[in-house]
Structure 1
């Protein structure tokens, strides 16, 4: 793969849309903290950074493998294994088993358990699953985004040599053994740090997007903090300190006007069904069917 600065290319591409792609960085000024997510969002929209206490029991992910009580999640299950076996290695972990058994062939497969993806998704590599119906990014911008985030993540954890798609990524297999070990070691280190020191807000927050269906809310983890959410969930935390990856609420009632619906990639029906899926999917049953638990 060519060696060039994905970050600069991505930021340049998104600047034309007025979009800033920015990770939640360590050592930033701690934002004002709220208990109520809507109050926090309104404060954030008003021009100052806000954070809030996000219920882990309502957190999920674009893959639909979330952090709720009825969810099965490979990182959470691996950390539960580690709690019982401090000599656990990657080769014996649920994470390794997950990467071996769950290897989506395309973007349709990557939306775990979802039966109504866009037709085009069957022709796209798995990482294009992030072309969500409410996203305004183009195919090329999503591709650059994923490659940059993976390079940044790997570099931050000492493996500048690992690249996506060559070595895989965190969300599903296949992954190179070195990438799998990196994800395993990173999770164990974070778990131990939380036990020893608790959650240090100065080290960053979990980024979330609020999804709304009627009076119900779920929180879509993305924009930093995926591993933290998993570690906190495995330790039995009920809330996770969060900030906003998207500075607005994604309301299912707006589906007909979402960018990728207007573009024709998603139909209104598919978009609404995907939101329903993120609210309702039972990943524990999926894991049973996959012989993962």
Structure 2
């Protein structure tokens, strides 16, 4: 007889299977959840009032819609927490009444944590807050534990509490509050009076927070004479290799697009276009550097894409289009035509249809305008993070962007020297690729690439003259 999860699959209730797994967290349910994900479609969109976003999740016999909005005070509150506590140490408990903001924040940084929701509906909303990402990455890294109710209270070292309904939430969190060893970090609307005596703790920090919505108070309560103030650091560059975090900070000069071009040197097709736009808000696509680039950089194969000279022994790179040698699955077919990122073109190279070019131009300007106005706040949006992977050679790295190349270009044009990003966790992508392990790369093991040619591809992303060679290529094409 099939189990409950298998029966739900047979009834085409794939959303229910996913929910069942998120409650049970066992290996058998995980297998069913991954089967279910193949049959679920998800859509995310900015809400009409531009206050947050909407996620719609649909399968044959089920559909759910959730609305999300994360106010900017959450970010300021989180900044206070990481300035005063090292969340890498010990376990953090938190009341998840934010619609998934805290759950995703704790999960992606790899902190040991446990979240609590007051009811089943709130639990469900939080679980689906980042669903389009989970759908695409097939639960490669699962979410941190989130409980509907607090019957199974676990020992924690600190409790994060964004106060909404004070009396109800205080009663709900009583098991943790009774334990005087637990530090309490609170964000409270101004006007709610907190008496630290009733918590049997002293106030270690009292800070005002004025947001667009209202005025708030940040309190840290502790029974200890003083808290051990150690800042939580986002791993920078290769520090992430010693961390559980999928979030890391990278230097802009070490970032590359899928062509191997730099965002910090003259000639990048997106960045140069945005510099034109900075000087002329009425810039048209037909007048842009992007249009010129798409018209003149039209490689016929991967060798031409990398601007390798004729005569370079790089088979099969000179015969068509293949996956990068470090990407799975192994042994894909050799394509005569390049990949399309969307119908009508490829945003990294030409030729593209006029419609595609105009759309890319508008996406680029939109990313720039948004980041200039609001800054880069990836935790506030589904799919908000620029994602990619690291190529690692000795003590150096390159961050290759998978998604968010318009945003990186905008950040570069706006003068960012570094930014926070996230590993791409798609099943066919490795988070880190090591130069000295070329023989183990999927396409090398499959016999498609020799280790020598595979390493040539890797080394291409470490070259510092790719943009210069591109500019020279465009000049030659102009003279033909």
| Distance in 1 of aligned mates of 2:467 and 2:317 | 25
Superposed, 1:247-258 pairs within 5 Å as: 248-258=431-441
Aligned pair 1:237/2:381, yes or no?
A: no
Matching residue of 2:268: 73
Q: Does 1:209 find its partner at 2:389?
A: yes
Equivalent in the alignment of 2:235: 35
| CA distance 1:117–1:79, change in 2 (3 Å) | farther
Larger helix proportion of the pair: 1
- Relative to structure 1, the CA distance from residue 169 to residue 286 in structure 2 (aligned partners, 3 Å threshold; closer, same or farther) is same
Give the gaps of 5 or more residues in structure 2.
1-33, 36-41, 46-52, 54-99, 110-232
C-alpha contact (below 8 Å) 1:207/1:221 kept by paired residues: yes
1:141, distance to aligned residue in structure 2 (A): 11
Which residue of 267, 283, 307 maps to 1:88? 283
Find 2:332's aligned residue among 121, 134, 139. Answer: 139
- TM-superposed CA distance for 1:212, in Å, is 1.1
Return the offset for 1:65.
1.7
Structure having the higher strand fraction is 2
CA RMSD of aligned residues (A): 3.1
In the TM superposition, residue 209 of structure 1 has moved relative to its aligned partner by 0.9
Aligned positions, number:
246
TM-score (ref. length: structure 2):
0.47
Question: Which secondary structure state, in structure 2, belongs to the residue aligned with residue 279 of structure 1?
Answer: coil
Which structure 1 residue ranges, 4+ long, deviate > 6 Å from structure 2? 25-28
- 1:120 to partner: Cα distance: 2.6
Tell me: CA distance 1:291–1:105, structure 2 relative to 1, closer, same or farther (3 Å): closer
* Aligned-partner Cα distance in 2 for 1:291–1:171: 15
Number of the residue aligned with 2:351: 174
Residue correspondence of structure 1 range 150-229 to structure 2 within 5 A: 150-151=341-342, 163=343, 167-201=344-378, 202-203=380-381, 204-222=384-402, 224-229=403-408
Q: CA, structure 1 residues 39+65, in 2 after alignment: closer, same or farther (shift >3 Å)?
A: closer
Q: Which structure has the greater CA radius of gyration?
A: 2
- Structure 1 residue runs of 5 or longer lacking an equivalent are 1-14, 17-22, 152-162
Between 1 and 2, higher relative CO (CA 8 Å, sep ≥ 6) is seen in: 1
Any idea what the Cα deviations from partners look like across 1:193-243, whole Å, max 9, x if unmatched?
111111121231111211111221111111x21111111111110112211
